[in-house]
Structure 1
Amino acid sequence: MHIDYLCDHPELIEELAELNFKEWGQYKPEDTLASRTERMRAACGKGAIPSVVVAIEDGKLLGGALLIDSDMDARPQLTPWLAGVYVKAEQRGRGIASQLVNRIVEEAAALGVPQLYLYTDAAQSLYARLGWEVLEEMEYDGLPVTVMKRSISQ
């Protein structure tokens, strides 16, 4: 298994967009799979914000994560964000999510980012183990979430 830029594997863009859409699409009813796919394609930077990284094994997509400017309209002052961390259900429990998160943190550090943000409704303990701190609890898109931050040492 290795982590690579999605832009180096364009054949995986639609699959990752579909996984993200199935996981989180219900929170944005106006969203479509086509618009999610276009946003994923547009986010496919490399060594920049936005960037997308993917976990791949034997040519198959296992999961992905994004580094983006903003992931929460309610907190426009917070930037940049770790977003869309997703690992296929049958691949969970192998540490893939942790590797994806750590890779995004490394990408942010290489860009000189001092703080990185995320929000989650269910994975607070994972992120806490990886050095993230709770910033606030709130409701967003009708879902109780935890906003977290990670200071990045330069």
Structure 2
Amino acid sequence: MKLAYLADHPDLLPTVAEWFFNQWGASEFTPTVEALAEKLKLSANKNQLPIMFLSFVDDQLIGTAELKFRNIAEYPDYRYWLDGVFISEQHRNLGYATELINFAEEKAKTLNIPALYLRCTEANTGLYQKHGYRIVEQTDDKFIMVLAI
């Protein structure tokens, strides 16, 4: 597996946007795949947030992860987030998400990020608990987890 930055592969932005849109759907701010792609362009960085990481197997894009700064009204104390962890279906359960998460955590350390938060469904809590994340809140069907860096 090879890891890279979206900043080095901007041509893959439409694929990532389509994956995200199909996985998580439309939102108020990203009602179309094209709008989501425009928003994701902001993550084409290497040393400042937001940063998107890409995962490749045999030069094929298979996954993503992001580090973000978010100012969310309902979570004012939760500043830095691991988000957009996605692995294509045929590559799931093979350890690729673990490698992406580790890479993102290492980058967070170099940026002096003190803690990373994430939001996931119950089905994904086990993956993140293996990395040391702990549940700090539960809202409906979502769990908020944190890892001290």
- The question of 1:125 aligning with 2:115 is answered no
Q: Which runs of 5+ in 1 are unaligned?
A: none
C-alpha RMSD over aligned residues: 1.5
- The question of 1:145 aligning with 2:146 is answered no
Q: Give identity over the alignment, percent.
A: 31
Query: 1:77: how far off?
Result: 2.7
Distance (Å, rounded) in 2 between the aligned partners of 1:13 and 1:72: 25
- The question of 1:136 aligning with 2:134 is answered no
Distance (Å, rounded) in 1 between the aligned partners of 2:136 and 2:40: 27
1:1-154 equivalent positions in 2, closer than 5 A = 1-26=1-26, 28=27, 31-70=31-70, 72-121=72-121, 122-139=123-140, 144-152=141-149
Note if contact 1:67-1:83 (Cα within 8 Å) is conserved in structure 2: yes
Paired residue total:
147
Note if contact 2:62-2:87 (Cα within 8 Å) is conserved in structure 1: yes
SS of structure 1 residue aligned to 2:118: strand
- 1:53-101 Cα offsets, whole Å, 9 max, x none, are 0101222110100101128552133111000100000011210111111
Distance (Å, rounded) in 2 between the aligned partners of 1:33 and 1:71: 23
Kindly report structure 1 stretches of 4+ aligned residues shifted beyond 3 Å: none
Instruction: Mark the CA change 1:59 to 1:101 in structure 2 (over 3 Å): closer, same or farther.
Output: same
TM-score (norm 1): 0.89
1:132 alignment partner AA: Y
Greater CA drift, 82-91 or 66-75: 66-75
2:55 alignment partner AA: A
Instruction: Mark the CA change 1:73 to 1:83 in structure 2 (over 3 Å): closer, same or farther.
Output: farther
Query: 1:151: how far off?
Result: 0.3
TM-score (norm 2): 0.92
Q: Which runs of 5+ in 2 are unaligned?
A: none
